[in-house]
């Protein structure tokens, strides 16, 4: 069976999540991905979210996930013959994925502009926080700053507490996905013209496009200002006897069904509560009642009621229970590492 990217060769000069996620998509689609690492390897080999020790000779679970189906070579950028090897590798490839953060990319022969000279036919994807050019291109930054600059914390979280960012370095995952789409789009051009190009992926712009701009555009078309206060869903995540359950109500009918489920018929009679902004103004009253109701039931009992009334709900996963989730068990999702 052929794969979509069979015969497509990619040199991975990236380090970290964004480039690794991009090239994972390509490898999963059948591309031959060759990851070039400095002496000592990609720092992600030794990184874990929990800070747990990694045995000598082993790699982190995240690195293994991102690097599956790839090949790896180690190159010392201080050796001219090894830099020449990378140039030859790039010259024979169809695409290159490049990020900062590795001793390799400090070499002038391995910058994006230089790579286009060694492989004028190839797509060069560069993933950086701000983009390759512009007054902020070399500006230090963190994931939290990028999310804040993109406006994401503006409407997220409890209004009585400080704004919060999304965890898990979401900016790098989002940028990796944008980079994949950009590379595959560029591939159509290079197949037609035989001429490559640089695909300049700014993590900031990726977050701006994916986190806030749709809502801003929608509200502008609707002729009303974008809300600037932070809010949480209502209902949202609530504690049951043995864990947490999350709800996502979208339609008015779902709200009415939820009212019946939690035993609050008077809420059903108040038509104003179908509108989220009204429910949000009465948050203390409503959340208190939902919390009291959920506290008397187990997660499974809540979900059984929700399913019967077609109320969107799910158990909230954590480290203690996620391996027991029915879908993951049936799919054999987890394996001992």
With beta carbons less than 8 A apart as the criterion, state whether 77 and 103 touch: yes
- H-state helical runs in the chain: 17-28, 61-67, 80-91, 112-118, 143-149, 170-193, 203-211, 213-222, 252-261, 265-269, 276-281, 283-294, 299-308, 326-331
Predicted confidence at residue 237, as pLDDT, reads: 93
With beta carbons less than 8 A apart as the criterion, state whether 109 and 30 touch: no
Q: What angle do CA 323, 66, 88 make, to 5 degrees?
A: 165
Predicted confidence at residue 325, as pLDDT, reads: 84
Predicted confidence at residue 335, as pLDDT, reads: 78
pTM: 0.76
Enumerate helices (H) and strands (E) in the chain, giving the number of each: 14, 9
* CA pair distance 337, 334, nearest whole angstrom: 9
Predicted confidence at residue 286, as pLDDT, reads: 94
Determine the angle formed by the axes of helices 213-222 and 203-211, rounding to 10 degrees: 40
Predicted confidence at residue 215, as pLDDT, reads: 65
With beta carbons less than 8 A apart as the criterion, state whether 185 and 257 touch: no
Predicted confidence at residue 318, as pLDDT, reads: 84
Q: Is 329 exposed, middle or buried (0-12, 13-18, 19+ CB in 10 A)?
A: exposed
Predicted confidence at residue 227, as pLDDT, reads: 62
Residue 244: which H helix or E strand, with range? Answer: strand 243-247
Residues in the chain, pLDDT under 70 = 212-216, 225-229, 337
Predicted confidence at residue 309, as pLDDT, reads: 94
Predicted confidence at residue 79, as pLDDT, reads: 92
| 222-229 contacts at long range (C-beta below 8 A, 24 or more positions apart) | 227/155, 228/154, 228/155, 229/155, 229/159
Predicted confidence at residue 226, as pLDDT, reads: 65
């Amino acid at each position: 069976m052929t794969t979509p990217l069979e015969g497509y060769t990619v040199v991975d000069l990236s380090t970290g999540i964004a480039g690794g996620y991009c090239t994972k998509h390509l490898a999963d689609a059948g591309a031959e991905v060759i990851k070039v690492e400095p002496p000592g390897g990609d720092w992600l080999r030794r990184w874990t979210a929990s800070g747990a020790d990694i045995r000598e000779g082993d790699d982190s679970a995240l690195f293994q996930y991102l690097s599956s189906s790839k090949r790896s070579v180690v190159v010392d950028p201080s050796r001219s013959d090894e830099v020449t090897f990378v140039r030859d590798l790039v010259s024979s490839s169809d695409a290159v994925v490049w990020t900062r953060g590795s001793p390799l990319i400090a070499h002038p022969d391995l910058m994006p502009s230089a790579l286009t000279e060694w492989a004028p036919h190839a797509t060069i994807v560069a993933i950086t926080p701000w983009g390759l050019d512009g007054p902020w291109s070399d500006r230090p930054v963190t994931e939290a700053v990028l999310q804040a600059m993109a406006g994401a914390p503006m409407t997220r979280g409890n209004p009585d507490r400080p704004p919060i960012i999304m965890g898990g370095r979401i900016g790098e995952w989002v940028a990796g996905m944008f980079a994949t789409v950009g590379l595959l789009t560029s591939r159509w051009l290079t197949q037609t013209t035989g001429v490559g190009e640089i695909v300049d992926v700014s993590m900031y712009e990726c977050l701006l496009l994916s986190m806030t701009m749709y809502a801003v555009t929608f509200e502008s078309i609707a002729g009303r200002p974008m809300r600037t206060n932070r809010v949480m869903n209502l209902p949202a995540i609530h504690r049951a006897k043995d864990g947490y359950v999350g709800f996502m109500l979208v339609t008015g009918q779902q709200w009415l069904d939820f009212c019946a489920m939690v035993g609050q018929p008077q809420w059903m009679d108040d038509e104003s509560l179908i509108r989220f902004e009204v429910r949000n103004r009465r948050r203390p009253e409503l959340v208190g009642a939902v919390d009291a109701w959920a506290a008397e039931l187990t997660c499974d009992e809540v979900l059984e009621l929700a399913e019967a009334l077609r109320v969107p709900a799910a158990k909230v996963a954590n480290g203690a229970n996620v391996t027991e989730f029915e879908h993951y068990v049936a799919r054999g999702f987890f394996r001992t590492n």
